[in-house]
Structures are given as C-alpha cells and as structure tokens.
Amino acid sequence: MSKNADPDFWARAQKHLVRYGGTFEQLIIERAEGSFVYDADDRPILDFTSGQMSAILGHGHPEIAEVVSEHIHNLDHLFSGMLTRPVVDLATELARLAPGGLERSMLLTTGGEANEAALRMAKLVTGGWEVVSFAQSWHGMTAAAAAATYSHGRRGYGPPTVGSFAIPVPNAYRPAFEKNGAPDWQAELDYAFALIDQQSTGNLAAFIAEPILSSGGIIELPQGYLAALKRKCEERGMLLILDEAQTGVGRTGLMFACERDGVAPDILTLSKTLGAGLPLSAIVTTAEIEERAFERKFLFYTTHVSDPLPAAVGLKVLEIVQRDALVARATEAGARLGDGLRSLQQRFDCIGDVRGRGLLLGMEMVADRHSKTPAPELGARISRRCMELGLSMNIVQLPGMGGVFRIAPPLTVSDEEIDMGVEILGRAIAESV
C-alpha cells in the first residue's frame, strides 16, 4: 500500500484542518529539492508551479538554507521599532533595482499584507478612498486587498470595502472590443474609465494591477496599456500600484515586468518571488509619497515588519538572481517552454491559447480552437492526470474562459526538466481528451 494512504494522517487532517480553498492533493509531501517535490513513497513530482508560484530558486537552495540557519541562530525577529543591517541593506538594493524614482521600502510578510499597506498609503496620501482594479484580479485576502480581488472569493462575506470598482481586463484571446478585426484595448480602457467617472464620488485614490494577471488566467496587459493606464490615473489624481508578486524578480525575463513598458508605478508591491518561497514582501515607493504619508502619520505597525531573517533571505535572493544571470535564463528557458507548449498546441485542438512571458506562461483549454468554447472539466482531468504522471500543474477556472494552466517553473529549471514537463503534459492531454 502507498505510504500516501496513511489512514491516521488523513483522519487527523480531516478532523483538525480548516479547508481554505479547493481540495488537498491526496499525497503526503515529505521533502523538496530543486525542481521536484517528493511524496511519501519518495516519488519525484516535477514542480511546474514553483510551490505557490514563489520558489524561483527551486526548493532547498543551499545558499538560502545557509542564510536561514545563520539568522535563526543569531538574528531572527525583533521589536518592530528596531532596525538591522539586513533590513537597510535590502531596502538599499531594492532602491537600486526598482524602476523610476522608487527608493523607499517597507518590508512585510505576504503579498496581501503588502497590497493592504500600499492601498492604505494611497488613501492617506491622496485623501481619496475609492480603489479600481481589474475584474479578474487577485491581490490578497486581507480587507482592502480582498475588496480589490474580483477573480474569486467575493460571495458570502458581506459588503466589500466601500468605493471598490472594477474594469474589464484586456484579453487578446477573447476581446470585448475590436477594431478592424483586432483587439481594441484603448477603446475598452476609455469606455471603462468613463463608467468609473460616472460612478465615482470624486474620491479616487488608486488603481491596483498586475502587469500579467495570474489568477485571472495569465492575461498579459498589451504593450502600451500600462502607460495609458498611468495617464488615466494621473488625470484623476490617483496613484498607480503595480502588484508584481508573481512577475517580479526576473520571472518574466526582466527584473520587473513593468520595465518592458517603461512605466514606473507610484507604489510597487513585491512578495512571493522576493522571498523565493519564504514569507517576505515589500512595498517600494517614492520619497515624495513616503514623506507625505509620514507627515499624515501613516500607520502600518505589524508584528513582522522589518524582520531581519526574511530580509536577509531577500537580499540573498536578489544576489543569486543577478550573479547567476537568472533574468536572462528566464527568457531563454521561457522560450524553450513556450516552444514546447506551442508544439502541443499543434497536436491538440483543445489547446486554445498559449500566452505569457518568460517563465510565467498560460495555456487555455477549450473544446476546440474554432469555437473557443470553455472546457473546464477537460482542464481538470488533464491536471489530475499530470499529477498521477509526476507533474504538478496549477489550473484556474473562471467564468467565460477555459481552464487555464498557470505554468511557472523555477528560474533554475534545466532544459531537461522543461522537456520532461512538456512530455508528461502531452501524455496527460492525450490520455484525457
């Protein structure tokens, strides 16, 4: 009998755990190393999700383990009013790397917490309280971040934060606005903000966006969209917050995805990839915005703000990404992975679209490419078969879309591992259609 079927383990899991979304894989994961996780039978499972889209250096990176070991012995957690060298060093490095004039950071834990802090700061600085985001967004589960999240989890929890608005995301595969047979994102954006202006009470504070919507189905904002969005914000006195939880720190082939468009946000939020799987997040903003927030007594005093251990990890992550040329590697490996996925698309009519940048790619499953009819059940079957064959894949299901696989291996993934993943995925599709 498989050790994954341990009846005592599953009885205690069922009795004592809160189920927080979906169902648990019927596996007991015992360890992880590099691009693989290993179950109770010591079966290797290729991790094409980098944990929770975070472990960009793979699992168990020896240098990260060394930093954690050193700081857990010597400098792990302090009173939030104290400062340490890792905190100041990481803030300094973020200021060096961040686009535009972003030079002041606050270090926190999760992406939701960072977005919460960013939205709180934007409201204080602008004096407004209305927040706009995309209708397929995911920004976190804390109050303001959840109010700006529209892809999942809005039903049954009472009213969201007052002043929450959404606009459609420009989906090139399923465009809502077209001109001469091509997607017309500018007309869509103009129409969306005309509606926002009609609904607003004149208290717009911020727009929060991902450059590539991940939980929204790997929807990439088209070139030029971010610049146009920032102009819309500036015209209304709003701040632009870019949530680069999943696109930051090299994953898309640039240190930050917004650099492709030459757009610097007013506030940048980082998480997931910054800690390479450990709980670390940051907001990075301009000196002008930070000064104004401080003058107005900005308060975000949390238990783990400016903790030295995760700050030291983040500093090491940035060092490794730059030293080992992993930003360029994301472009190279992403091209290989994209070519593999497109080769599968030529074989299987159920693959409607392959999209994304670098090592953040999406593959949308449909009944057939001609109709683009969503096929969520097929996507679910393929996902289950992938796991049975030793490949961990993540699929998101959204109304009006097919199941979309979010494919995000570590930046350290080898060519052989990419080819292995594509081969397993092809087999899973063939056995599921």
Only one residue has tokens 């290729």, namely 46
The contacts of residue 94 (CB under 8 Å, 6+ apart) are 102, 105, 270, 282, 284, 318
153, two tokens: 């989890």
Is residue 272 part of the annotated active site? The answer reads yes
User: Is residue 329 flagged as an active site residue?
Assistant: no
DSSP 47-60: ETTHHHHT-TT-BS
What phi and psi, each to the nearest 5 degrees, are found at residue 378? -60, -45
Question: Are the CB atoms for 46 and 420 separated by under 8 Å?
Answer: yes
Q: Does residue 297 carry a catalytic annotation? A: no
129 is catalytic: no
From 28, 43, 1, 10, select the one nearest 391 (Cα to Cα).
43
- Three-class SS state of 349: coil
CA pair distance 239, 206, nearest whole angstrom: 5
Among candidate residues 236, 272, 316, 329, the one labeled active-site is 272
Going by their DSSP bridges, the two strands 219-220 and 267-270 should be labelled as unpaired
How far apart CA 396 and CA 114 sit, in angstroms, is 23
Q: What is the token pair recorded at 365?
A: 């499953």
DSSP 221: P
The number of beta carbons lying within 10 Å of the beta carbon of residue 151 is: 21
> What are the tokens at 381?
């079957």
Which candidate in 116, 210, 364, 417 is catalytic? 210
Catalytic residue among 39, 116, 243, 364: 243
Q: Identify the three-state secondary structure at position 250.
A: coil
Q: Give me 374's structure tokens.
A: 């969503």
Catalytic residue among 113, 123, 136, 138: 138
Q: Verify whether residue 138 is a known catalytic residue.
A: yes
User: Which residue in this structure is represented by tokens 């047979």?
Assistant: 181
Give the residue from 279, 358, 273 showing the smallest Cα distance to 320. Answer: 273
User: Any idea which residues carry the catalytic annotation?
Assistant: 138, 210, 243, 246, 272, 406
